[in-house]
A and B are shown apart, each in its own frame.
Chain A
């Protein structure tokens, strides 16, 4: 079985503050890793993903995430947040399950950026 844990359910930051959202996963095999973002009133969008290669992944809007295999982590970072980053962020993993690729989502972290 695979699972995803997001430690912070609600984060409030001031503009220009640095952001780090934690994500840990549990899976015994090879995984692909994702961060999705859901802006208010909009659908889930891919922020960035890791399949293989450089464990430091850069995504859209200045976000990046680092895959640390030894820690089973894939934390999301941004050096300076903006008000427009207010959204809900979901970490997800894709592992092999019963011959099908299955994606499991974390519970999400709501980020509120205060101007």
Chain B
């Protein structure tokens, strides 16, 4: 069956550009998460959606980062005025249940800011 998909897989941006990263979770999954993974590190929590509601955005590094999930399925992570320190892999994950359950990760978007 279809897993979590993300697009684009790779994105190169010039410093100062805006970028938008898309996540298609597994159909019917209630919970959606965004993580940032720097090279050699574990994924770091950015934000959490339960259906269309963004319940936690405490991990977003700055107000340049914005995420939405308007219809409770597809989600977009937007980064405005990108900086070099934004370079990382951005992972999306979804889970079917609320609470402490298995998360299914997408392949990630590797963002490089020049």
A and B bound?
no
Which of B's residues lie within 8 Å of A, judged by CB? none
Which of A's residues lie within 8 Å of B, judged by CB? none
